[in-house]
């Protein structure tokens, strides 16, 4: 196996991170429910706490409102372990410091530790004044399209020197130790499970709803999620082609962002919306849901599980096929291909991409205007698909209905939220099946990533899940050609058969693993053996 050598640590040692300006685009959010079982990290936190002196300790503790039993030391530990996690993963990685009291309510069901933001702010202030932190201040503007950010903090040289003497690793910190696994909201969430915003006033359209964990169906979901997250916790999941532990992507504001990739970015929660157990219910949280295969950056193709190459299996036309099966009609392998060109300025390949996205919008929207507007917004600036006119859109809809008349009554009727719940049931069935067999899988809504060696097992699990939930087996596509399949084609000696397969393999084959990936995998395995 060839290895691309990029000595990140050597570069960082040559120019210490603490001499460089903090990059606010490269940070993790503050995790209120983080924890650690590593006694050395607890000892370090206690040493720092004692160094602050009694007066500052007293100021941090303040007057108790009896809503929380956590001490000032507990709050400081929460900060220190997250700083350590980022430092050990990549010393350049900053931490967003919360400052808004509305970030989390003390009495919230989801605030399992009953944390108070003002108390956290006092801890940040004390650590900064004592020289343990470097900080870049918040960015705030009243301009409509401005990106407002909180302050970013990072371990100073003083804290760096203390971290160097601690017997611990990033894996000793669990950023999600006390997080809830099931979320209920009154409104809607986006593709990443985050609350959406009302464009008219830019306010978040959600209200968290407490979950009754004593309900039988909730207990069953929690058992599945706990087992699944426990399996993922002891599984190394990484993008092996990365030289640095982050993915560079462009945000909706057009600015470059760096998404950290680490072993704390794989905690999964299940999110329901509209205050109903029949609405939504999809699985969110893994970094693999936030990276795609755009612009030649085949991030998902290069995901490795426990060092092994992976495949992605994707249900074909899942939502339209669910509706089709509900009408006692046979499912289709490709529902998005129309009979010939509909709008002459788009070729057949572009047309199919438009139709696929349009159908998704039509099933989620409550009217045609909303579907059209959502379609245009889904395409990036500069993409020719974004220029689609209302006339062209209507022509595509007409052609789609002509080919699939049984779906006419389902479009623009707000079907999406119900269909998401059904696909979440299918995915849950697969998760339970594979987890019971100790086979880690990664879900991206209606597609699943698994190790190549487990592809047959996953295929069987996907067929069984749709048979159990829908009464009919649905087909699926595989993301790329495997090396074994390509080699098998060569061995057949038929060039007309093997050449197209080899071509596809060359296009989609994953890259070699980098030194960073191999080092992190070995480090993780040592941690597991030690644990």
Per the DSSP assignment, residues forming a β-bridge with 477 are 314
Strands 182-185 and 269-272: parallel
Give mean pLDDT, residues 433-457.
96
| H or E element at residue 229 | helix 216-233
Give mean pLDDT, residues 23-41.
95
Chain CA centroid to CA 441, Å: 14
Considering the chain, what is the average pLDDT of its residues? 88
What pLDDT, on the 0 to 100 scale, is given for residue 207?
76
- The domain limits of the chain are 1-179, 336-403
Comparing CA positions, the residue from 446, 454, 464, 481 lying closest to residue 316 is 446
Quick one: 257 exposed, middle or buried, by C-beta within 10 A (0-12, 13-18, 19+)?
middle
What pLDDT, on the 0 to 100 scale, is given for residue 8?
55
Most confident of 101-110, 135-144, 154-163, 374-383: 154-163
Q: pLDDT of 266-318, one tens digit each?
A: 999 999 999 999 999 999 999 999 997 665 568 999 999 999 999 999 999 99
**Two structure tokens written together for 388:** 């689609």
Contacts with 438 (C-beta within 8 Å, 6 or more apart), sequence order: 231
Percent of all residues in the chain with a pLDDT value above 90, rounded to a whole number:
69
* Cα 185 from Cα 214, distance rounded (Å): 18
Residue with tokens 């707000």: 414
What pLDDT, on the 0 to 100 scale, is given for residue 418?
94
Most confident of 101-110, 204-213, 392-401: 392-401
Give mean pLDDT, residues 494-510.
67
Taking the CA atoms of 188, 192, 194 and 195 in sequence, report the sign of the dihedral they define.
Answer: negative
Among the listed ranges 101-115, 311-325, 431-445, which one has the minimum average pLDDT value? Answer: 101-115
* Cα 439 from Cα 14, distance rounded (Å): 41
* Cα 502 from Cα 68, distance rounded (Å): 62
What pLDDT, on the 0 to 100 scale, is given for residue 198?
60
What pLDDT, on the 0 to 100 scale, is given for residue 249?
83
pLDDT at 505 over 80: no
Contacts with 343 (C-beta within 8 Å, 6 or more apart), sequence order: 351, 388, 392, 395, 396
What pLDDT, on the 0 to 100 scale, is given for residue 125?
95
Comparing CA positions, the residue from 329, 333, 352 lying closest to residue 406 is 329
């Amino acid at each position: 196996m060839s290895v691309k050598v990029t000595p990140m640590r050597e570069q960082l040692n040559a120019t210490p991170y603490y001499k460089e300006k903090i990059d606010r685009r490269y940070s993790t959010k503050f995790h209120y429910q983080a924890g650690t079982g590593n006694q050395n990290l607890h000892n370090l936190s206690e040493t720092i706490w004692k160094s602050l002196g009694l007066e500052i300790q007293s100021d941090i503790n303040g007057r108790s409102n009896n809503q929380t039993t956590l001490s000032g030391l507990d709050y400081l530990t929460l900060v220190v372990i997250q700083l350590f996690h980022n430092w050990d993963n990549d010393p350049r990685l900053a931490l967003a410091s919360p400052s808004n009291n509305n970030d989390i309510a003390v009495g919230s069901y989801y605030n399992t530790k009953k944390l108070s933001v003002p108390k956290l702010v006092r801890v940040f202030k004390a650590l900064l004044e004592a020289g343990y932190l470097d900080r870049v201040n918040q960015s705030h503007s009243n301009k409509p399209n401005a990106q407002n950010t909180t302050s970013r903090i990072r371990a100073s040289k003083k804290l760096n020197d203390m971290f160097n003497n601690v017997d611990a690793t990033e894996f000793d910190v669990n950023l999600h130790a006390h997080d809830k696994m099931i979320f209920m909201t009154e409104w809607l969430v986006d593709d990443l499970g985050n609350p959406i915003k009302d464009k008219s006033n830019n306010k978040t359209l959600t209200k968290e709803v407490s979950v009754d964990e004593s309900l039988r169906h909730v207990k069953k979901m929690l058992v599945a999620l706990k087992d699944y997250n426990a399996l993922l916790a002891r599984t190394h999941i990484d993008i092996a082609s990365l030289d640095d532990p982050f993915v560079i992507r462009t945000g909706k504001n057009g600015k470059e962002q760096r998404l950290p990739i680490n072993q704390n970015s794989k905690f999964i929660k299940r999110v329901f919306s509209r205050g109903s157990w029949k609405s939504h219910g999809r699985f969110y949280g893994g970094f693999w849901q936030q990276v795609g295969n755009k612009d030649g950056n085949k991030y998902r193709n290069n995901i490795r599980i426990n060092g092994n190459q992976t495949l992605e299996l994707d249900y074909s036309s899942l939502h339209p096929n669910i509706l089709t099966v509900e009408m006692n009609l046979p499912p289709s392998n490709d529902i998005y291909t129309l009979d010939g060109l509909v709008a002459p300025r788009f070729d057949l390949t572009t047309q199919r991409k438009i139709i696929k996205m349009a159908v998704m919008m039509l099933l989620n929207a409550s009217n045609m205007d909303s579907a059209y507007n959502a379609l245009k917004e889904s395409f990036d600036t500069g993409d020719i698909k974004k220029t689609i006119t209302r006339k062209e859109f209507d022509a595509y809809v007409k052609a789609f209905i002509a080919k699939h008349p049984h779906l006419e009554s389902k479009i623009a009727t707000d079907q999406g939220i119900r269909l998401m719940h059904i696909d979440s049931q299918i995915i849950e069935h697969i998760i339970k099946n594979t987890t019971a067999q100790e086979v880690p899988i990664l879900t991206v809504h209606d597609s699943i990533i698994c190790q190549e060696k487990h592809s047959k097992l996953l295929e069987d699990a996907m067929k069984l899940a749709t048979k159990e939930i829908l009464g009919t087996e649905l087909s699926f596509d595989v993301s790329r050609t495997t090396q074994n399949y390509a080699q098998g084609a060569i061995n057949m000696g038929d060039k007309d058969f093997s050449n197209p397969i080899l071509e596809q393999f060359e296009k989609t084959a994953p890259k070699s693993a980098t030194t960073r990936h191999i080092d992190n995998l070995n480090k993780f395995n040592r941690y597991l053996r030690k644990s």
